[in-house]
Structures are given as structure tokens and as C-alpha cells.
Chains A and B, each alone.
Chain A
Amino acid sequence: MTMTGRALERRKFPAPFSNYELGDPFDEMFLADGAPREHYQEIYDFLLQLPAEELRLHKQAADQSFLHQGITFTVYGRDEGTERIIPHDLLPRIITAQEWGKVEAGLEQRIHALNLFLRDIYHEGKILSDGVVPRDIIYSCKHFRREMRGVHVPKGNYLPVVGTDLIRLPDGEFVVLDDNLRVPSGVSYMMTSRQVLQRIFPRLYQACGVRPIDHYGQALLATLRNLSPDGRPEPTVVLLSPGVYNSAYFEHSFLARQMGIQLVEGRDLVVHDNIVYMRTTSGLRRVDVIYRRIDDDFIDPLSFRKDSILGVPGLFNAYRTGNVTLANAIGTGVADDKALYAYVPKIIKYYLQQDPILQNVETFLATDPTHLNHIVNNLDKLVVKAVGESGGYGMLIGPHSTKEQQEEFRLRILEDPRNYIAQPTISLSTAPCFVDGGNIEPRHIDLRPYILYQGEKSVIVPGGLTRVALRKGSLVVNSSQGGGSKDTWVLN
């Protein structure tokens, strides 16, 4: 190798990494000069000596195991084959103990502040009178629930279950992209990926020293039991699912089994005199805490959407009376509105008098005239998001979009500025993925840790779900848009 003027000469990667290219984004496995990071050394060495054929067989075995266990999700809007296994990448994503420590502290702080915020806006609204957050943004949010004003929520806990989306900037810093305070999903993929990986790479797993995650079910149950209505020391906890046709049904069933609680649907519950019962073969049984995986809109046709057949008539009144607890509380969506997101650093400062440990991504609000100007003039560079949407729907990724799409968004934004925000296009970090053909190539990933908020403190299982955009160059990691998952290893 000849020395050039540059100090660093990129190494040529050996097989199976021959096609691996390092670009501007932060790469989880390799340093800029192509050497593996220290915490990836173990798996790097392992992969170099693993025959490609064996890796392929492992992959096949894992897919079979997912299909036969029925670990599937549902894609809407297709008639045939609506049930698919979640694409899964075999190579784990590794996070060091030090990095994790900061993420954990940052999430704990953020969720605590958001919970105080929710309690405040549904009661005194101090943060609004102090002008830290504009009233408009709250009252124009379609997830704000007037009906929740003055409602007492057990232990003041609105957010027992949260799954925050983090990404890594090119300099390696973790930042928050999305708060997901309503009904975050994916935790079952985190747990099943772990089971599959432990079976496929037992020695590697042991050699790396990975922190366990299998206490999640127990911790979730403890969190929910803790929210029992007054005077119900031995609460009956149930998980309320929209049913078998919901995209996350596998997860609902999985979690119910992990916790040993009943998986109920709306039609299993009846409300009588503001008490909630479930219909069993031995008669009606009282229900105390409902871990609901149904959106606010659909939970009670008497109080919210009249056409909902998933919900339970009278449930909201029983909840308001305090006879039953819903987790998460009704109306939490106002705090994960994508426009409110821009104010979260101020919210943290306001309630906790602390600087945020985890930063936000720079965000432009279309409601702000100067921001709006910047947005419509830079549609080819920005990511535009509809505030009310999730799951990767209603999004424009500027650099990957056509002129027509940009024009379409320009009109939509100008027509309804409250519904749009924009952020710079950030190249999510990349991690090695096993691709068709037996090679390992970089793909973009994010990270969704799961937080069980229990008041001042939280339980956060180490790691979470790493979602990966399996299409080359793609930045969209949502499973509904061709994303997959990876096991996430936090090291001791």
C-alpha cells in the first residue's frame, strides 16, 4: 500500500464484507478507517471465519422459526398474503454500557417531564399560562381530549408504557426522533429476536456478555398492577386488543402470555353501573386495570368515535369514575404530536430545571412563518412529516422524492400548516446486515427502547428494538414500509 497525503487509508474489506462501503453516516461496526470498533471485534472475527453457506442456513432456520411460531404482522391494503413474518436480520446491533447509560438517563428524564406536562395541561395548565408552550398547539391537536380535563389518573401516571425512537447523528450522538406515547408496539419482536439469536449464536452471545431482557413481561405486569384503582389491592389486569386482524395482534397475544393475563377484545367486556366486567364461562368478572392496545378514538363508542366496533360502550365513564384504570391514559397523544415535539427541550427545562440529556432533531414548524418559508423553499432537502400520522405514512423524504411529490406536499403544507413539520434529512447510522447473495452490507437503522415509567423512576430493559431499512439506501425503517428488525445487545 502506498502512502498518500491522507493520514488514513481505508482498508479493503475481506469477505463477507467485500461490498461494504463506508459513507458519511455513523457506522455502528466500523471506524472511519475501516477497522472494527472494539465492541464489535468479537462478532467481526466470528463472521470472518463463518462459512457463507452456514450463515445462510442460520437465516433460513430463523425465518422458518418465525413463520411457524406465527410471529407475523399484517400489512393493510393488500388482499392476499396480509400476514407476513417481520423481516429479520441475524446480525445483532451492539451498544456499549457507557452509551447505554446516557440513553437510559436521557429517556428517564424525558418521560418524567412529558408525564408532568400531561398532568399539567389536563389540570392547571401552568406551562400554558407561563407561555412556554403556546395554547394553540395544544387545543388544535386532534389528540387533545377535552374530556380528560380534571380527571384524576391513578398515581398521576399517564405514561406507564412508552417506546421512544432514537437515531444516531453522523457524529455518533443519540438523539430523539419520536416519542410514541400512545400505544407503542414492537416489544415482542425485541423479545423473540433475542430468543432466536440466543439459539443460533449461543457462544457468541455468551462471549460478548449481553445484558438480559427477559424480565420485560414481569416488569410490565408490575407497572400495570401498581396502577390499580383505590381499594382494589388484588387487581385483575387485562390486555385489550382490537382483535386478530390488527397488525400487532401477535404482540398482544405474546404479551398476554408473558404476563399471564387475559387477552380481551371489546366484545368480551361489558360496563354496568360504571364497573367493567369481562364475560367468562363462569359468569361476569370485574376488571381493574386495562392495558389497552386500542387508540383513544376507538375505545368507547359512547364517548368518542360512534362507529367503533372495537371498543366498549361506557368504558370512558367507568374510567372517569375511577373504577378502572386505562394504560396509557386517554389523551396522551397530545404530547407526542410532531409539532409539540419541538417544545420538549423547553418542557424538560420548565418542569425539571435541567438541560435535556438527549437532544432533539432540529425541527421546523409550518405554523411559524419564517420556518414555513424555509420548508417550502427546501423541500428537496428536508423530511416533511404529517403531525397526525405514524408508521412512516404521510411522509416526504426530500432527497428521495420527485418534483411532483414535492409540489404536492408544498400545496398540502400551505393549505394546512398545522398538520406539517419538517426536519433536515439525517442519514441514520448504518449497521452491518446480511443481504441476499450472502454478503454483509451496511443498512440504515434506528433504535426504539421500551420504557416502563413508574413515577420518578423507570424500568428500561437494556436495548430495545433496532429497526432496519432493508432496502439499500432507504431511510424508512417502519415494518409497514419494508423495514425489518435486529436484536439489540447492550454489553455489560
Chain B
Amino acid sequence: MDMLSRVGDALYWMSRYLERAEHTARVLEIHLGLQLESFSSSSQKHWERINTSLGLEPPEGINDIDLIQWVCFDPSNRLSIVSCISFARDNARQVREHTSSEMWEQINKLFHDVRSNAVQEDWETEPTDFLRSVRDGAHLFQGITDSTMNHGEGWQFIQLGRFIERATSSAVLLDVHFKTFHPTRAATINFEEHSEWIGLLKSLTAFEAYCKVYTADLKPERIADFLLLSDEFPHSIRFAVDQIDTVMRALPRSKRDGGNQPARLAGKLRATLCYTEMDEVSHTGMHEFLAGIESQCSQIHNAVHQVYIDYPVDAALEA
């Protein structure tokens, strides 16, 4: 059965918001851990970096405790974890008959759990418990999705939302980090910054995976290589773009003008990441390279919207 455009759109956003919630929870959890290491840069700078990485603009003069509250729970913050989960659930609710009941039950449970008062009372003493439960809940949802839903068109839109969000938010996180810690080629990492680099890897669940490839010997260039270009690690940008490209091959190809735009853009980005080496990235400049990835992801998003979701009726009748 053909899928309604609105359904594709809702599945995409459901998945994208949940990925965002999980990303925010992960980054925040690591960040709170790092703050325990008192020698790291001042708390305020630290927070500024986190806020930029997560695209957050907290109210002026907010204190640390309220800031955590704001990032986790505040419904007026459209990017708070609870807001993201709530948007994800709203989208899921609109398309219940296109997901499995197991998926709905999990996302609904996650929503009720994070909103329940018990959680909100607990978080101040143990915010990591809350953050971990979000991460676990999102992982569980992804696992349930992959194992209970047809891997048909709807699932492809879920994949797309997940990996566009992952590629974009990882690119921003890397950009902010590399801007702050200006690595010079082959430089060793000084003692103060060591934990920041571990933090970066852990923020993308990459520390153990990195060590398996390069041992615990941390070098900025290797870290960049791993997080940007690894074709095996699921939180690398290259991996995410590979998945986006796979989705584009699986979606029905439109015969209308511009109908092959999403596939073309995804193929082009994949080729870039596939055939680029770290030397060239350094040559282009890390920031320019990451900004390029971000803008291409956003072009892919727009192209998908124009071809599959919000196409003009007249053009569709002619085709």
C-alpha cells in the first residue's frame, strides 16, 4: 500500500526528535561527569560550549541547577529532552497504525516515565539516572523498531530521520570541540585537555570503539578521522551518511522534474566522505568541512520534503 506523505513526514520527525533527545541526554551526561573533574575549564565556559553544541539558547543569568532543569524538563524549551520526547510521541501518535504496537507502547511509556513526578524529584540528586533512562528508553525504541516493524517505506523514513539528525548533531558537536581545542597536527594532548577529548569520544559512545582501533593513545587527528570517516562505527558521520544514501536508494523514485534530487544529493555527500582523507580535511579546514556536511544534510532534508511530502498537485497530476 502506498504511504501517505503525512505519514512519512510524521515517522521522520518522530525518529528525528527521539534521536535528538538521546543525543542531548548523552552529551549532558558526559558533560556532568566532566564537571566533577575540577581542573577542567571553568564551568561557565564549559556550559557555553555545551549549549552551542546542542543549539540551545538558555535564558540569561540562569544558574547551573536551573540550567540542567531547563535542558532536561522545561516545556518552554523546544529542545529540552522532555519536549523532544513529547514531540516524538505526538508524531508517533498520529501514525500509530503504521508502527507496531510494541513501538507505540515503548515511546508512550518513555513519555509517561520522563513526565512522571517521581523522575522530576529524583533528578536533582541523581540527574544521571534520568539521563541514562532516556538513553536506554531511546535505544530500546530503536531496537523494537528494527525488530518489530516491516523494513518498508515507513521504516526508511524512520532511518532517514535518525541519521540526518545524527550526522547533523555530530557535525555541530565536532565543530565546537575542534574550534575550542585547536589541535595542531600530530600534537600530543596536554594533561588538562585529556579528559575533554575522552569526553568528546564518550559523547558519541566512541571511546571503547576508538581504543579497539587505535588503543588508548589519544591523538586529535585520529579522533577526527574516527568520528568523521569511519565506515564501521555507527556514530561516525560517514556511517550516518551511508545510511542516508541507502534510504534514498530504497525510496520510490519520482519521475517528476527534480525527482532524483534527494538521491543525487545523498550520493554526492556519501562520495565526499567515502573518498576524502584526513589530510584533505585539514587542508580545507575542519570547520569548513563540517559546515559543508551540515548544509548538505539540510539540503537533503529539503529535497526529500519537496519530492515526497509537500509536492505541488498540478505537477503530480501531470506525471
Q: How far is the CA of A270 from the CA of B3 in the complex (A)?
A: 15
Report B95 CB to chain A, min CB distance, Å: 8
Judge whether B94 and A243 touch: CB under 8 Å: yes
Contact of B2 among A68, A254, A272, A285 (CB under 8 A): A285
In whole Å, how far is B96's beta carbon from the nearest beta carbon of chain A? 5
**A281-B252 contact given A262-B1, A268-B4, CB 8 Å threshold:** yes
Expressed in whole angstroms, the Cα–Cα distance for A75 and B162 within the complex equals 34
A residues near B313, Cβ cutoff 8 Å: 270, 272, 279, 284
Report the Cα distance A265→B95, complex, angstroms.
Answer: 11
Residues of B within 8 A of A69 (CB): 101, 104-105
CB of B316 within 8 A of CB of A283, answer yes
Residues of A within 8 A of B254 (CB): 282-283
Question: A279-B6, A281-B308 are known contacts. Are A70 and B153 too (CB-CB below 8 A)?
Answer: no
B251 interface contact, C-beta 8 A = yes
Q: Does B306 contact A (CB under 8 A)?
A: no
The range of chain A's interface size is: 20 to 34
Q: With A270-B313, A272-B313 in contact, do A68 and B97 touch (Cβ < 8 Å)?
A: no
Given A270-B313, A283-B319; A278-B4 close (CB under 8 Å): yes
A230-260 vs B, CB cutoff 8 Å, 1 = contact: the mask equals 0000000000000110000100011011001
On chain B, which size bracket covers the interface? 20 to 34
B317 / chain A contacts, CB cutoff of 8 Å? 272, 284
> Is the Cβ of B108 less than 8 Å from the Cβ of A263?
no
Chain B residues near A243: list those with CB within 8 A. Answer: 94
Are A280 and B97 interface neighbours, CB within 8 A?
no
Query: A240 CB to closest chain B CB, in angstroms?
Result: 12
**Residue interface mask B306-317, A partner, CB < 8 A = 1:** 001101010011
**Contact indicator B96/A280 (Cβ below 8 Å):** no
* B219 contacts chain A at the CB level, 8 A cutoff: no
The reply to whether B104 and A70 form a contact with Cβ atoms under 8 Å apart is yes
Contacts of B309 in A (CB 8 A): 281
Q: Within 8 Å of chain A (Cβ to Cβ): is B93?
A: yes
Contact of B109 among A68, A253, A265 (CB under 8 A): A68
Most-contacted residue by chain A among B112, B311, B317 (CB, 10 A): B317
Which interface residue of A257, A263, A264 has the most chain B CB atoms within 10 A?
Answer: A263
- Docked Cα-Cα span, A281 to B105, in Å, equals 26
Instruction: Describe B's contact surface by its main secondary structure.
Output: helix
Considering the complex, give the chain B residue whose CB is closest to the CB of A252.
B97
**Within 8 Å CB of A268, what residues of B?**
4-6
Interface residues of A in 146-192 (CB under 8 A from B): none
Task: Choose among B5, B93, B101, B108 the residue that contacts A279 (Cβ–Cβ < 8 A).
Answer: B5
What DSSP secondary structure best describes chain A's contact surface? mixed
In the complex, chain B residues whose CB is within 8 Å of the CB of A272: 313, 317
Contact A262 B96 (CB under 8 A): no
Q: Which of B96, B108, B316 meets A253, CB within 8 Å? A: B96
Closest to A263 in B: B97
Q: Which of B1-37 contact A (CB under 8 A)?
A: 1-6, 8
Residues in B98-114 with C-beta less than 8 Å from chain A: 101, 104-105, 108-109, 112
Q: Say which residue of B2, B108, B319 sits within 8 Å of A70 (CB atoms).
A: B108
Chain A nearest CB: distance from B226 CB in Å? 35
Smallest distance from the beta carbon of A170 to chain B beta carbons, Å? 43
Report the minimum CB–CB distance from A68 to chain B (whole Å): 5
B90 interfacial by beta-carbon distance below 8 Å? yes
On chain B, the residues within 8 Å of A282 by CB distance are 2-3, 252, 254
**A254–B8 CA distance with the chains assembled, in angstroms:** 19
Contact across chains for B90 and A280 when beta carbons are under 8 A apart: no
A residues in contact with B1, CB < 8 Å: 260, 262
CA of A270 to CA of B315 in the docked complex: distance in angstroms? 13
Contact A265 B6 (CB under 8 A): yes
Q: CA separation between A260 and B96, bound complex, in Å?
A: 13
Q: How far is the CB of A389 from chain B (nearest CB, A)?
A: 29
Interface flag for A123 (CB, 8 Å):
no
Is B93 in contact with A70, judged by CB distance below 8 angstroms? yes
Which residues of the other chain, A, contact B311 by a CB distance below 8 angstroms? 279, 283
Chain B 283-319 residues near chain A, CB threshold 8 A: 308-309, 311, 313, 316-317, 319
Give the residue among B2, B3, B108, B308 with the most A Cβ atoms within 10 A.
B2
**Are A264 and B108 closer than 8 Å at their CB atoms?**
no
Contacts of A244 in B (CB 8 A): 90, 93-94
Q: In the complex, which residues of chain B have a beta carbon less than 8 angstroms from the beta carbon of A265? A: 6
8 Å CB contact of B105 from A68, A256, A257, A283: A68
A251 to chain B, nearest CB (A): 11
Residues of B within 8 Å of A253, CB to CB, are 96-97
Closest chain A CB from B301 CB (angstroms): 15
C-alpha gap A70/B311 in the complex (Å) = 33
For A280, give its contact among B5, B105, B109 (CB under 8 Å). Answer: B5
Contact assessment for A284 and B97 in the assembled complex, using a CB-CB cutoff below 8 Å: no
Task: Select from chain A the residue with minimum beta-carbon distance to B154.
Answer: A281
Residues of chain B in range 227-283 having any CB-CB distance to chain A below 8 Å = 251-252, 254
A267 at the interface (CB under 8 A from B): yes
Instruction: Select one of A68, A70, A270, A279 contacting B4, CB under 8 A.
Output: A279
- Residue among B104, B109, B252, B316 with the highest chain A CB neighbour number at 10 A: B316
CA distance A106 to B112 in the complex (A): 45
Q: Which residues of B contact A70 (CB under 8 A)?
A: 93, 96, 104-105, 108
Closest to B256 in A: A283
Known: A68-B105, A69-B105. A280 touches B94 (CB 8 A): no
What 4 pairs across the A-B complex have the smallest Cβ distances?
A280-B2, A257-B97, A281-B308, A282-B252
